[in-house]
Chain A
C-alpha cells in the first residue's frame, strides 16, 4: 500500500508502534525483575537461618542477636522524628505560607528554597564527615547518639520541608479566604484550617523521611560509631544500629555473623515496608474520607478533602526519596 502523503509508510509506522510497545514493556520488566529479585533475595537469605531469638538477644563478639541494634535504629528514628519533624514542618510552613506576605522575606524566599534544595541533594557522606570533624572531634562528643541524631536530622529536614510545603500549597486558597472571612486570625486559621487539611501529606512526608533515616549508613559510621549494646548517655558512647551490621558483618570470618548481617537486612526491609505501607494507608484513608464527606455541609472545618483539584498526587511520592 502506498501512502498518499509524504512520510513514513504504513508498514513502518505499524512496526514502530509494535517495537515501541515491546520496548516499554521490556523496560518495565527490566526494572521489576531486579526489584523482585532483590526483595526475594533478602528474604530468602535471612529466612533459611532465621531464629526469632535474634529479636531479643544481645549481640556478642561471636554471634548472639540484634536486640540493641534494632532498639538503636528505632531510637534514632524517634529522635529524627522529633528533631527533624519539628524543624522540617515549620520550615515547610514558612516556605509555603509566609514567604509571599512578608516583603523582606519574600525577596529571600528564592535563595532560601534554592539552598534547601541544595541541602537535600548534599551527599550524606560529606555531611557525615562534617559531623565527625565538628561534633565528634570538634565538640569532643565522641562517637555518640547526639552527633548521629543531629547529622541525620540535617539530612532529612529539607525533604520534610519540601513535602510539607508541597502539601500546604495543595490547600485551595478558598480555605484560607474562608477562614479569614469568618474572622479567624491568620495564625488560628493556619492551625485549624490550613494545617489540618494538609496533615495527610505532611504525615506521609514524615514517614518517608523516617524510611530514609533508618536506612542511612555512611553518615552514621562517621558520627555514631558502633557498639554491641545500647549506651546510657547521649554523648561519649558509641551507639548501635542495624545498617552497620549489614555493612560490616557480611564479610566477617564467622558464619554466625554472616547470618546476623542477612537478618539485619531483612529487619531493615521490614521496617521500611511498614513505613511505606502506613504512608499508603494514610493516603487511602483520607481519600475515602473525601468521598464519604462530600456534601456534608456541617463539616466545613473537619478534615475536608472534597476538592477535586486535590488529586492523589497531593501527597509526596516515595520516588522522591533521596538515596545517597
Chain B
C-alpha cells in the first residue's frame, strides 16, 4: 500500500486519535485502504487458488472432448489390444466408423504402451525404495553431519538436474556401460524359468526397459530419500535411546522403532515417486528406445504412455482425419487417470495410517 506513505511502518492503533471531527481526505483514503487490505488479500488469494484448479478442470475436459471420437471407435480394445498401426502411408483411404472418420487399417491397441509404463515404474520403485531408505539411515543415524550435509546436498542436486540431461547421460554413457559390463553378467547366469527368463540374452545395446527403469530409479531416489531423511529426523530421540538402552542393536532399533514410526510417510513418498515415474517423459523417450511392443527381454527397447505421446505427435499430425491425434488424446487421458489415481491412493494411505510425518497434504 504505497499510499499509506510514511505511516506504513507505524502500528495503526487508534486511527483517528489525533483528529477531532472528520479527518482530512488523504487520511480517510489511507484508512479505507488499510481497513480493506484484508479483503484485497482474501480476494486476490481466492482467485489465485481457484485459477490453477480451473486450469486443471479445463485440461481434463479438453482431453475428454478431444479423445471422445477415439474412445468411441477404439472401444475397450484400446486397453488390451496389442496392435498399434495408424494406417498412415498404407492406402490413405478414409473410412467412417460410427460417424468418426479415420484411416483405413488404423488399429490402436495400447496394451504394450500401458504395460511398459507400469513395468518400468515398478522397476524404478523396486530399486529406489530400499536404496533411499538405506541411504537415509546412513545419512541421519550413522554419519557425522560434516559428511551427511554435503551428501544430502548432492541428493538435492540430483533432484534438480533436468531430466533431459539425465536422459542424455543415460543414453550416451550409462546405458552402453550397463549393456557392456553389467547385463551380460546377469543374462549369462539366469535360468530358463518363468519371470527370470526375461533376464536372459539378448542384452541389446543399453537402450531399453531395464536401463530406463534404473535411470527412473535414480530420478525418484531424491524424492523418496529426502522425504525419508526428514521423517527420520522427526522421530523423537527418546524412543530410540530407550530401545538402545534396553540392549537393542542398530538393526533392531531401526526395524522396531524408527521404521514403524514413519511407515505411512515412507509409503506416501513411495507412491508419490511412483507417480513421477509414471509421468516421466523425456528421459524414458531417450533411453527406452520408443518401440511400440512388449520387449522379449528386459534389456530391449520398449515405450511408455508419456514417451509415446511425445514421439508420435509428428506422425499423428500427418493423419488428415485427425483420428491419430484423437487417439493420442485418449492416451494422455489414460495417463492422467493413472496418475490422478496414484495420487489419490497416496493421500488415502496417509489418511488411513495416521498423520505422523505425512509428507503430502497440509501439516
Instruction: Give chain A's interface residues, CB within 8 Å of chain B.
Output: 13-14, 16-17, 19-21, 23-28, 30-32, 34-39, 41-42, 45, 86-91, 93-95, 97-98, 102, 105, 112-119, 121-127, 129-130, 132-134, 138, 154, 157-158, 161, 165-166, 169, 182-188, 190-191, 208, 211-212, 214-218, 221-222, 243, 246-247, 250, 261-262, 265, 268-269, 272-273, 275-276, 280, 313, 317-324
C-alpha gap A191/B48 in the complex (Å):
17
Report if B306 contacts A (CB, 8 A).
yes
21 A-B pairs, CB-CB below 8 angstroms?
A27-B131, A36-B154, A98-B46, A118-B344, A122-B279, A122-B340, A133-B329, A161-B52, A169-B362, A184-B12, A186-B38, A215-B160, A217-B282, A218-B306, A250-B172, A265-B168, A318-B159, A318-B226, A321-B160, A321-B223, A323-B276
Interface SS of chain A: helix
Instruction: Beyond the given A27-B130, A37-B173, A313-B230, please list 9 additional residue pairs across the A-B interface where CB-CB is below 8 A.
Output: A34-B174, A90-B49, A117-B361, A126-B335, A208-B160, A250-B171, A317-B227, A318-B226, A323-B159
C-alpha gap A218/B167 in the complex (Å):
12
Number of A-B contacts (CB under 8 A): 345
Are A154 and B347 in touch, CB under 8 angstroms? no
Report if B186 contacts A (CB, 8 A).
no
C-alpha gap A172/B37 in the complex (Å):
22
Which residues of B in the span 1-59 have a Cβ within 8 Å of any Cβ on A? 11-14, 34-42, 44-53, 55-56, 58-59
Are B135 and A28 in touch, CB under 8 angstroms? yes
Point out the residue from B137, B172, B286 that lies within 8 Å of A247, measured CB to CB: B286
Point out the residue from B37, B221, B250, B342 that lies within 8 Å of A188, measured CB to CB: B37
Q: How many residues of B contact A (CB 8 A)?
A: 110
Question: Which residues from chain B contact A117 at a C-beta distance below 8 Å?
Answer: 343, 347, 360-361
C-alpha gap A125/B303 in the complex (Å):
14
Question: Which residues from chain B contact A185 at a C-beta distance below 8 Å?
Answer: 12, 34-35, 37-38
Once A169-B362, A319-B159 are accepted as A-B contacts, the answer to whether A41 and B169 lie under 8 Å apart by CB is: yes
Q: Could you mark each residue 132-150 of chain B with 1 if its beta carbon is under 8 Å from any beta carbon of chain A, else 0?
A: 1111011100100000000
Report if B80 contacts A (CB, 8 A).
no
Report if B252 contacts A (CB, 8 A).
yes
